[in-house]
Amino acid sequence: MSLRNTISKYFNNHSESKEEHWDPSLQTHYYKTTKDKGMQMLENFFKSSQAYDINSISKEHGEISVNVKKGKKAFIVATVIMVRPYQTAIDFSVTTESVLPFDFGYSFKLIQKLYTQINKELQLIEKTKTHR
């Protein structure tokens, strides 16, 4: 990890997962499921937790927006895209609400925590280049 990446990890109030992220834990995760089942799992997960409050669900766009209401306040957008049958990508974008322009890595760690929870519910496909 470069110094620039370390600085951006801690001195930022926004993090997002993506295909080619410099940190492997924030690279897009692919699951052996359909878009609809992935969306339903995320909806159930957020609804069943007292830490989150769902803002909106757009099944046609594959997006769920959520507020974190326990601990530090944050806004999450989860994106679910089926790239091929039973191969579905899930990404997160997290912005922390703060008086400071940075969150000391909270948004970064929250994405890691969300992926850890999802990995318990859905079958993770090994991260290979087969999804391209």
Give residue-wise pLDDT tens across range 44-94.
999 999 999 999 999 999 999 999 998 889 999 999 999 999 999 999 999
Segment 96-112, tens digit of pLDDT: 987 777 778 899 999 99
The pLDDT score that the predictor gives to residue 20 is 86
For domain 14-126, the question of CATH label 3.30.310.220 is answered with: yes
Q: What is the pTM of this model?
A: 0.87
The pLDDT score that the predictor gives to residue 8 is 57
The pLDDT score that the predictor gives to residue 131 is 46
Q: Where are the domains of the chain?
A: 14-126
pLDDT band, very low/low/confident/very high, at 39 (cuts 50, 70, 90): very high
Q: How far is CA 89 from CA 20, 37, 106, in A?
A: 13, 12, 23
pLDDT over threshold 80, residue 128:
no
- Residue 5 phi/psi, 5° resolution? -65, -40
The pLDDT score that the predictor gives to residue 24 is 86
Rounded to whole angstroms, the Cα distance separating 85 from 89 reads: 11
pLDDT band, very low/low/confident/very high, at 3 (cuts 50, 70, 90): low
pLDDT over threshold 70, residue 127:
no
